Amino acid sequence: MTIEFEHRTVHGVVEQLAREREGESFLFFEDDSWTYGEINAAADRVAAGLSGLGIGKNTKVAIMMTNRPEFLFSWFGLCKLGAVEVPVNTAHKGQLLSYMINQADCEAIIMEACFADQLRPVLGELETVKKVIVLGGPVGDLGDNVQDYDRLVDNDGTFDAPLVLPSDPCAMMFTSGTTGPSKGAVVPHNYQLVMAEIICGMGEYTSQDRLYNALPLFHGNAQTLSTMPALISGASMVLKNRFSASAFWDDVRKYGCTEFNYIGGILAILLKADPRPDDADNPLRVLVGAGANKQVFEEFEKRFNVKLVEGYGMSEIGAPLNTSLKDRRPGSCGTVNPGYQVKLVDDDGNEVGPDEPGELLIRPLHSHAMMLEYYRMPEKTVEAWQDLWFHTGDYLQRDEDGYYYFVDRKKDALRRRGENISSFEVERTINSHEKVMESAAIAAKSELGEDEVMVCVVLKPGQSLTAEELVSYCEEQMAYFMVPRYVRFMDKLPKTPTERVQKFRLRDEGVTADTYDREREKVA
């Protein structure tokens, strides 16, 4: 479908589809379905309810929900008001949860009742929150500013709609901090559409497709790379509460899904299942993702009779590199998308030649096609845009034919089970233990080819602490995916003369004989 520029907003797409395909089903969740018209009407009721609470243009509102239709209704409703959606990882708690809500200046939170126990301990630390809207039942004492979601949407959907432009902020996606706290990347409406158009082009989506969306909606992937492409192609979408390898193929066959977005080790996990005679007998035609090595790429395609297309992207920049069904090269994240300029440079900013690794720098060629800023972090925004090029912090290299290949992360972020993890925030939590003097969090490779979290810990003089005790402390203080698998106690960390930890040395040593392995202990 063709979207006129004046409608290049998230809700503009929803409203256009509601007019053109009002009675056609878009969303399938569990045993229910919703038409384009019903989704738009539900979003109108959210917008009307929030407007009555004083939520308007540029107001930041956190959403803390699992995958469910109300997440979409809330997201689209906020867009209609010109408000800024701040999706929160449902595993966060403690200091990181309060930090993100405060850093984003959130004035309201829309949450499921099941997360009340995570919010309650930090309520007193929230500086700007005026209203908590709760879905799914009583939550006990969350203060006087709690409102029931069902009451919020008990209205006729009428509200004063402000003028919302493609350049206006739409969402704030938190990216993992490496040398500091997580940063809130503010993206405009047009960014969401540009990304969706790229994905649709990669997978050649049409209105006949049905996308399987099992990744968490609080991540940009499920919103921008799954939901929005399904919308702008006039397709339909199956929303699942979470990804389950055991249920995946049954779901795909049940709903007739033709597409799925994969991340991290999902392909390797699906390949681990025992082969079945009907593996290739499924409706999937294309999977869009990143990070599959050549062996996994070819094995998956052959076994399941499906095509893989890959690309490279970040929350801040979109997808400057990508392949397509007509132009694929296993192991490569593709060639330069026509909407971007890119170059690879060495540490001095000089461009490198073919087959030489360099940091990827990018520029968009169209307006409002990437993030607007790191919210309330002007220095970090300027730092990312050195020399008027956005510095990705990732090393890639290209071959003579112009295909790019990911090499390594220049920064110290980790990625585990599809989750981006801040080494800084892991270390901050570890260091808050009363017996710990300092720590360093690094990536150790897992059996699935992703990162596992490893921490190297130095205790305070005279203190003793077991790895099991430290892991238990982490389980209380941080999201499950951030909890270290490996713990190594050391007398001191290797450092430069200026006292910077030499993480490359720790990575080179890797998992040593004296390193505790939480997974091995579970098996034992």
**pLDDT at 424 (0 to 100):** 79
Pair (381, 299) in one structural domain: yes
Contacts of 409 (CB under 8 A, 6+ apart): 393, 394, 395
Pair (110, 248) in one structural domain: no
CATH number for 446: 3.30.300.30
> Does 169 reside within a domain?
no
> Does 337 reside within a domain?
yes
> Does 8 reside within a domain?
no
Pair (403, 506) in one structural domain: no
**pLDDT at 263 (0 to 100):** 85
In the listed set 392, 409, 426, which residue is the last one of a domain according to the structure? 409
> Does 27 reside within a domain?
no
Q: What is the 3-state secondary structure (H, E, C) of 35-94?
A: EHHHHHHHHHHHHHHHHHCCCCCCCEEEEECCCCHHHHHHHHHHHHCCCEEEECCCCCCH
Q: What is the pTM assigned to this prediction?
A: 0.85
CA atoms within 13 A on the CB side of 479: 19
**pLDDT at 450 (0 to 100):** 77
> Does 18 reside within a domain?
no
> Does 12 reside within a domain?
no
The number of distinct structural domains making up the chain is 3
CATH number for 228: 3.40.50.12780
Paired tokens of 15: 């409203």
Predicted confidence (pLDDT) per residue in 457-486, tens digit: 999 999 999 999 999 999 999 999 999 999
Pair (258, 371) in one structural domain: yes
Pair (293, 208) in one structural domain: yes
List beta partners, residue 253: none
Predicted confidence (pLDDT) per residue in 9-40, tens digit: 999 999 999 999 999 999 999 999 999 999 99
Distance between CA atoms of 174 and 88, rounded to whole angstroms?
8
Paired tokens of 513: 């004989």
Name the nearest CA neighbour of 38 among 158, 163, 157: 157
Pair (393, 304) in one structural domain: yes
Pair (497, 363) in one structural domain: no
Pair (276, 343) in one structural domain: yes
Which residues in the chain show pLDDT less than 50? Answer: 1, 5, 178, 523-524
> Does 478 reside within a domain?
yes
> Does 184 reside within a domain?
no
Spacing of C-alpha 14 from chain mean position: 22
Distance between CA atoms of 385 and 381, rounded to whole angstroms?
6
In the listed set 394, 409, 424, which residue is the last one of a domain according to the structure? 409
**Residue 80 CA: distances (Å) to CA of 42, 45, 196, 317, 416:** 12, 11, 19, 24, 34
In the listed set 360, 394, 409, which residue is the last one of a domain according to the structure? 409
Pair (103, 46) in one structural domain: yes
Pair (475, 488) in one structural domain: yes
* DSSP at 239: E
Distance between CA atoms of 157 and 12, rounded to whole angstroms?
16
Distance between CA atoms of 368 and 518, rounded to whole angstroms?
45
Instruction: Indicate the SS3 state at residue 456.
Output: strand
Distance between CA atoms of 483 and 96, rounded to whole angstroms?
14
**pLDDT at 522 (0 to 100):** 59
154's torsion region: left (phi>0), alpha (psi -120 to 50) or beta?
beta
Pair (436, 373) in one structural domain: no
Pair (376, 243) in one structural domain: yes
Domain that holds residue 66: 36-164
